[in-house]
Structure 1
Amino acid sequence: MSNENVDALEALAVATLGEAAAHRTLDMLAIDPALRTDRGGTVSRAVFAMALNIGLFHDLLRRVPSGDAYVASTLARGGRVMFDHGALRTIRFADGPTGALPGGEDAFTRIFLPLGYEMAALYPLDRLKMTGRAYRHADHPETIPQFFLSELHVDRFDAEFGEAAARVFGTSRDPLTPAAKAVLARYNIGETVPLADAIAALPVILAAFDRQHEPPRFEDYQLLLSRSNEAAWIATEGNGFNHATDRVADVAALAERLKAEERPMKERLEISASGRVRQTAFRADSVERLFADGALRTVPGSFYEFISRDIDPETGRLDLAFDTGNATGIFAMTSALAGATR
């Protein structure tokens, strides 16, 4: 088939995930028809951004059995997932990069901004010694998933914590190749990208959403955990998707049904100050991770979240905001109160 007739979004998904996994994931998601119109052998920034999110959603379900089971039941009921946003965590040292990675959110704004994302709002997460930022797509803000990108400020902790953080995160490598950076540079100046170049770049850019540092020493993990559940989580999970979120019509009713089904639900809803944004989640699934001593230990992994958004009466459009209180409550889903097993 010539490139003139190829659905670029499908082609990117198939090349990256394989045919079966790509079609399974595409069938799970409610995708804006406007994102299925790129043909003629080039890929717009919006379609590339959606393909990136499809890859990230697939990876999240691969790591989160509770989320995968929920999605399977949704499909069995004849539904689809409206992928609202994904979240990831980064480390910010007071000065300089994080190993070979740009510091904090800079490791991802170099991806998001060329792909058409704009920073929509800043959310201080002072209790967690973190800052969150929402990145929203300029072309299709309601139908391309947002990113909730947070960074943990190492300099807000004590010196002992800073030394452990430097040992753990200082080993980070930069996964982006010159070819992938060149594709992002083309998007950054407003060009479309040949399909073959986009196919080559997508797996490399997806690799940025992973752990880039070496397995941590268990002693360092425990020290980070004693000060910050979030730092300990990043030590084992890195910059992987912390959660993916399903936008549903009535999250309260859904939560009651899922509790009745004995799913691993958060106890209560998080409701924004405006009342228009309501969130809940499954508790994080446990995963086994390798530590520097060669031992596998059980730690909290990622999780699956649910959100309902109402219309903002001032704009007449969907309220796409987040809420500091909601975010702080949702972050607790990955708490490791007892730490990793020995």
Structure 2
Amino acid sequence: MTIANEDWVMKLTGAVLGEERRDAIAAILAPMVPDVQTDGVTRAQFSAAMNVLLFADLLERVPSGAAYVADVRASGATVCFDHGAIRTIALVKGDTGALPRGELAFRRILEPLGYEDAALYPLPALRMTGRAYRHRDFPEAIPQFFVSELHVDQFDAEFAAAAVRVFGGSRDPLDTHAEAVLDRFATGETVSFEDAVRALPTVVGAFDRQHEQPTITDYEILKQSSKEAAWIATEGNAFNHATDRVANVVALSDAQKAMGRPMKEKVEFSRTGRVRQTAFRADMIERGFITADGAEQRIMVPGSFYEFISRDLDPETGALDLSFDSGNATGIFHMTKGA
């Protein structure tokens, strides 16, 4: 089974993951782009390869999601990767160190790869804003990105000062080669396999933590007012979750609960009823913090998680409803409010 274009997506992911791990992921993910011959790597093929690598990375970090995917693999079924979610920080003024502020750090990556800013989702209870980035070429097949931005200017001065100390020295992970490849995709060009495979790990590396370990004091200041800011302090811009599009999320939730999996209490329904979501609770992970005397302290904190979504057809368009819902998103955000 292939996940996408045999010539390019499989070769790109194999070059990064190795053939054995690539084949294991290929066996579980539903196709993202048609299996067609092209002279060079297209933006859609690069996007598909990027998403495969991000999905593989999440499974490495989320044991509960990996266990579920292993069950799917054993049953002979596949995962339809619906979307991935990332969290960003917008400081009161300016960029986040060398990293562009908030969601702009990812707009500059996603738009050249064929994504468009499809919708805005206010998340006032979290003092955040979400944006859905949807692929122009294959909107139902290539995963969307739900990019949220936390507004530091909506918190007090102590919080803002801690945010500057934690995030203000962030690195920019993109190098000149990756930027040049993205520029070529932005103009509609294809790129050679050699250029694509050199840029791919750098672009995937943008979905990671770009700042240094926080101090335990600053972490506690952020956590007191925003569990989401505290999560970004330890995990950065890594995938907060990856989402499996399933036929009946309510039935799946019941089945996973019966197995004793760490499932969310209730399924979230959108206002239209066409989009339904639930998730495993975030797996706890150990992270290091700097103490007042400069030593390192290891603490268990919430990591990432695995989500599920069901989408119905939109009766007005006859197409799959690819929208999100602010209420659903707020409920899903609670999965990282672990002990």
Q: For the superposition of Structure 1 and Structure 2, which TM-score range results when normalised by the shorter chain?
A: over 0.9
Asked if 1:335 corresponds to 2:333, the answer is: no
Matched with 2:121 is 123
How many residues are matched? 331
Distance in 2, Cα, partners of 1:175 & 1:201: 11
Matched with 1:17 is 17
Select the residue among 296, 309, 315 that pairs with 1:294. 296
Letter in 1 for 2:300: T
TM norm structure 2 = 0.96
Asked if 1:214 corresponds to 2:209, the answer is: no
Task: Give secondary structure in 2 for the equivalent of 1:295.
Answer: strand
Matched with 2:147 is 149
Matched with 2:36 is 37
Task: Give secondary structure in 2 for the equivalent of 1:172.
Answer: coil
TM norm structure 1 = 0.95
Distance in 2, Cα, partners of 1:67 & 1:32: 20
Relative to structure 1, the CA distance from residue 6 to residue 136 in structure 2 (aligned partners, 3 Å threshold; closer, same or farther) is closer
Shift of 1:169: 0.3
Distance in 2, Cα, partners of 1:120 & 1:32: 19
Matched with 2:260 is 262
Q: Is the 8 A contact 1:45 1:115 kept in 2?
A: yes
Distance in 1, Cα, partners of 2:108 & 2:62: 27
Matched with 1:276 is 274
Distance in 2, Cα, partners of 1:314 & 1:206: 36
Matched with 2:325 is 323
Shift of 1:276: 0.1
Letter in 2 for 1:260: A
Matched with 1:57 is 55
Task: Give secondary structure in 1 for the equivalent of 2:182.
Answer: helix
Shift of 1:295: 1.8
Task: Give secondary structure in 1 for the equivalent of 2:211.
Answer: coil
Matched with 1:111 is 109
Letter in 1 for 2:158: E
1:158-216 CA distances to partner (integer Å, 9 max, x unpaired)?
00000000000012100100000000000011101111100000000000000000000
1:130-182 CA distances to partner (integer Å, 9 max, x unpaired)?
00000000000000000000000000000000000000001210010000000
Relative to structure 1, the CA distance from residue 314 to residue 236 in structure 2 (aligned partners, 3 Å threshold; closer, same or farther) is same
Q: Is the 8 A contact 2:88 2:149 kept in 1?
A: yes
Asked if 1:96 corresponds to 2:98, the answer is: no
Structure 1 portions without partners, runs of 5+: none
Shift of 1:33: 5.3
Q: Is the 8 A contact 2:64 2:283 kept in 1?
A: yes
Shift of 1:94: 2.6
Letter in 2 for 1:270: E
1:47-101 CA distances to partner (integer Å, 9 max, x unpaired)?
0001000000000000000000000001111110000000000000132100110
Task: Give secondary structure in 2 for the equivalent of 1:291.
Answer: strand
Letter in 1 for 2:36: T
Q: Is the 8 A contact 1:38 1:47 kept in 2?
A: no
Q: Is the 8 A contact 1:6 1:39 kept in 2?
A: no
Distance in 2, Cα, partners of 1:6 & 1:249: 27
Q: Is the 8 A contact 1:288 1:296 kept in 2?
A: yes
1:97-152 CA distances to partner (integer Å, 9 max, x unpaired)?
00110000010000000000001100000110000000000000000000000000
Structure 2 portions without partners, runs of 5+: none
Letter in 2 for 1:90: T
Select the residue among 243, 247, 250 that pairs with 2:248. 250
Distance in 1, Cα, partners of 2:315 & 2:49: 32
Asked if 1:28 corresponds to 2:28, the answer is: yes
Q: Is the 8 A contact 1:87 1:242 kept in 2?
A: yes
Task: Give secondary structure in 2 for the equivalent of 1:235.
Answer: helix
After superposition, the CA RMSD in angstroms is 1.1
| Paired-residue identity, % | 62
Relative to structure 1, the CA distance from residue 225 to residue 33 in structure 2 (aligned partners, 3 Å threshold; closer, same or farther) is closer
Task: Give secondary structure in 2 for the equivalent of 1:28.
Answer: coil
Task: Give secondary structure in 1 for the equivalent of 2:121.
Answer: strand
